[in-house]
Amino acid sequence: MSNSTFYVTTPIYYVNDKPHIGHAYTTVLADVLARYHRAAGDDVWFLTGTDEHGQKVQKAAEKNGMTPLEQCDSTVVRFQELWKRLGITNDDFIRTTEERHKKIVRAILQDLYDRDLIYKAEYKGYYCVACERFFTEKDLVDGKLCPDCQREVDTIVESNYFFRMSKYQDWLIQYITEHSDFIQPAFRANETLGFLRKPLEDLCISRPKSRLSWGIELPFDADYVCYVWFDALINYISAIGYGVDRARFERYWTSCMHLIGKDILTTHSVYWPTMLHAIGLPMPKTIFAHGWWLTGSRKMSKSLGNVVNPMDMADKYGVDAFRYFLLAAMTPGNDASFTEEDFLQRFNTDLANDLGNLLSRVVKLSIKNFGGKLPAPPPLQPLEMELVSKAGLAVKQLECELNAMRLDRGIGAVMNVVREANKFLERTAPWTLAKEGKTERLAAVLFAASQTLEIVSALLFPIMPEKMTLLRRSLGLSEEEITKVDFASLREYAAGSPTRTMVDLPPLFPRIVVEKPEEDAPAKPEKQKKQEVKAPKARDTVVPEGMVTIEQFFKTQLRTAKVLEAERIEGKTRLLHLKVDLGNGDVRSLVAGIAQQYAPEDVVGKTIIVVANLMPAKIAGFESCGMLLAAKSETSLKLVTVDGGGCEPGLTVG
């Protein structure tokens, strides 16, 4: 990332909707990008807001005996409160009912009308009230259903105003073709080009007041209001001063990145660019369409009752853990599955086990042996240097993945360093160094581990600002240093300050345990109980003995993995210590009982199958995060490998 301008937007959400995980995802993603860009020294503007006109609001207002604006005022707070709760740092919040927006919409309409880019004609079409969109006959499913939400559409014949969108078809095709970064991911650009293979029609941009009065009145015909999408898209420019504050508008506009969901691709990649071109404005830099959150493998919908409420998640598990999950579990662009089980699994593995434990080990050992104040940088040995340089490498990896909008991979690279640091502690065993009185080496080991934590916490700061503040406070950083997380200084990271004193704080991410029925649960020591948080009770399923349900089977995540390194373990004839790549930057340490059948060089390069969600364990002094599959009898053992071996790591097996 270079020092430049970065303007990021979310869709403006329908004010009547209840915020769900999809809204939360886009807004958290925008927030995290904004925070990273601010950390990189960029001039950032982050906009979100609400889409307040249209039939749904009008109907809800009628039902509730309010004016439409009162209806909007009563529901907009749901979004504003959620963004506050989720730590969203938007610079502006635009409501399309604000005068600053309406006035620009009117000016644009008048200008296009004056230039004959808007004209009146008879319209016949099909309208979906839920999606607030018109469709042609060929778009409909079974001749009567909305292609997006499958609800029955209304047939409409009336006079309306049209924007000459068809005029820009060739220009748009050429623009998209020549600007490969404009619509991302690339397959969404192809999807748009596919859409543009059919003749582009003019866009109906008005609604007669007799049918819908809640909208911005057309400046050239008081019997009509503006179509809600035409009005809504203009928010992206009205909010930054288009037509009012030229300097501010020009400062931000061309750096703009629109974050949207895949279902509103056409409105953003066809309607919006043609509108902008007609107005005479340059294009935004990027339109990035992310995928959908599914519940398990099903679409989230009110009727299925499986919509995830972000406020509930934040209340139950904490804001930062929720933010982390959203970003770590979705590859931007693709769909992702949300289940509470996956959430708990990732929480316990990444946050409680890996990151939480690393911090607690480093801080406790430093306090016990040095009163929390590590001596000025002691001579580092190759292992320590290797760890610190791996942390430095993660800075570059994260930057690179961020630029490519692969935030999940960037997080994966950072969490790998956390795992490396835990492994480093296993290898160097500072607790033994302490017992043996090897103070200088002990200081060097703790120094390297705390440096790593400092870098990692800076890198994760935009994602988990509250928890990383605590972590950095625990490392002894001053309040000023805690929030200073600029990439430039991290890239040239040099030793920290010996004036710091570490402090032990309550666990950052106490493990969450799913409560078992009383009789199954062994009594736990009081101390452990205090550090755990209870999750909702797991429902018991009655299945015949020896059988598993499909849900139980799929709890086991089987993934392809490539063996990167293998070594024998001293004194353990059966065991090999492996380093395996599970794709997406997830490189793990794994201990396997295959040393009598396979030499290390026989397994390196093989693509094997690993149980990816097995609780990590320590075997023969090494972390073992997963289990490989092998077919065995009393006399033989054969690794389960993937046919041909050439497939990529991280694929789901099942």
183's CB contacts (< 8 A; 6+ apart) are 176, 189, 192, 265, 269, 286, 287, 289
79's CB contacts (< 8 A; 6+ apart) are 13, 15, 19, 23, 48, 50
Nearer to ligand MSP (CB atom), residue 215 or residue 261: 261
CA-based end-to-end distance of the chain: 39
Nearer to ligand MSP (CB atom), residue 57 or residue 300: 300
State both tokens at 60: 């809800």
- Cβ 228 to ligand MSP shortest distance, Å: 8
Position with the least CB separation from ligand MSP: 261
Spatial contact of 414 and 439, defined as CB atoms under 8 Å apart: no
Q: How far apart are CA 188 and CA 500, in angstroms?
A: 49
Q: How far apart are CA 52 and CA 97, in angstroms?
A: 6
Question: Within 10 A of 263 (CB to CB), how many other CB atoms are there?
Answer: 15
Cβ-in-10-Å burial (0-12, 13-18, 19+) of 313 comes to buried
- Cβ 51 to ligand MSP shortest distance, Å: 4
Q: Given the structure tokens 């949207």, which residue do they identify? A: 260
- Cβ 188 to ligand MSP shortest distance, Å: 12
- Cβ 14 to ligand MSP shortest distance, Å: 4
Nearer to ligand MSP (CB atom), residue 297 or residue 573: 297
Nearer to ligand MSP (CB atom), residue 11 or residue 378: 11
Instruction: Measure Cα distances from 490 to 153, 456, 623 in Å.
Output: 55, 10, 28
Nearer to ligand MSP (CB atom), residue 13 or residue 161: 13
Q: Given the structure tokens 């596919």, which residue do they identify? A: 194
State both tokens at 406: 């692969």
Cβ-in-10-Å burial (0-12, 13-18, 19+) of 210 comes to exposed
**Is the sign of the CA dihedral 194, 195, 198, 202 positive or negative?**
negative
State both tokens at 63: 């039902």
Q: How far apart are CA 460 and CA 476, in angstroms?
A: 17
Nearer to ligand MSP (CB atom), residue 21 or residue 563: 21
Nearer to ligand MSP (CB atom), residue 261 or residue 430: 261
- Cβ 133 to ligand MSP shortest distance, Å: 10
Q: How far apart are CA 371 and CA 46, in angstroms?
A: 43
Nearer to ligand MSP (CB atom), residue 11 or residue 185: 11
Nearer to ligand MSP (CB atom), residue 260 or residue 391: 260
The binding site for ligand MSP (CB under 6 A) comprises 11-14, 17, 22-23, 25-26, 51, 232-233, 260-261, 263-264, 292-293, 300
Spatial contact of 203 and 271, defined as CB atoms under 8 Å apart: yes
- Cβ 316 to ligand MSP shortest distance, Å: 19
- Cβ 76 to ligand MSP shortest distance, Å: 12
- Cβ 11 to ligand MSP shortest distance, Å: 4
Nearer to ligand MSP (CB atom), residue 261 or residue 465: 261
- Cβ 212 to ligand MSP shortest distance, Å: 16
- Cβ 160 to ligand MSP shortest distance, Å: 21
